[in-house]
Amino acid sequence: EVQLVESGGGLVKPGGSLRLSCAASGFTFSGVWMSWVRQPPGKGLEWVGRIKSNSIGGTSDYAAPVKGRFTISRDDSQKMVYLQMNSLKTEDTAVYYCISTFHSDSSANRWGQGVLVTVSS
């Protein structure tokens, strides 16, 4: 069964840090580009960033609101992708989804169940 399972969410104070993890199973992980998308409570979807497959460099790109604060990494041996979030702000409060992409990284064909991150004092 194809699965993406996120973990690591919770409550953190403004200025704090948190690392989200995403465990993949049921598909060939190493060649797949992975991304994170978030959704503030009651609002729409927002792309956070992506990481390419290691076979083409494994580099990452980020949305403007998180650039310089968030870092995406991957461990193909463990089939894991991570989202390191630093200098968190209240506006980062959201459900964070781990997704795998296809069709030249244009669409998300697999989604995790999401994990809630709450940034509040």
Partner 1 sequence: EIVLTQSPGTLSLSPGERATLSCRASQSVSNNYLAWYQQKPGQAPRLLIFGASNRATSIPDRFSGSGSGTDFTLTINRLEPEDFAVYYCQQSTTSPPTWTFGQGTKVDI
For binding to partner 1 (CB under 8 A), which residues are involved? 35, 37, 44-47, 50, 61, 63, 97, 102-109, 111-114
- Return the closest-CA partner of residue 32 out of 87, 91, 85, 104: 104
Q: State how far the Cα of 82 lies from the Cα of 111, in Å rounded to an integer.
A: 15
Q: Quick check: 33 and 101 in contact, CB under 8 A? A: yes
As given in the structure block, the two tokens for residue 118 are 């709450």
For the CB of residue 40, give the shortest distance to partner 1 in the complex, in Å: 12
C-beta closer to partner 1: residue 29 or 97: 97
For the CB of residue 43, give the shortest distance to partner 1 in the complex, in Å: 9
Q: How far apart are the first and last CA of the chain?
A: 39
As given in the structure block, the two tokens for residue 12 are 């953190």
Q: What angle do CA 37, 99, 83 make, to 5 degrees?
A: 65
For the CB of residue 86, give the shortest distance to partner 1 in the complex, in Å: 21
For the CB of residue 77, give the shortest distance to partner 1 in the complex, in Å: 26
C-beta closer to partner 1: residue 30 or 111: 111
C-beta closer to partner 1: residue 82 or 96: 96
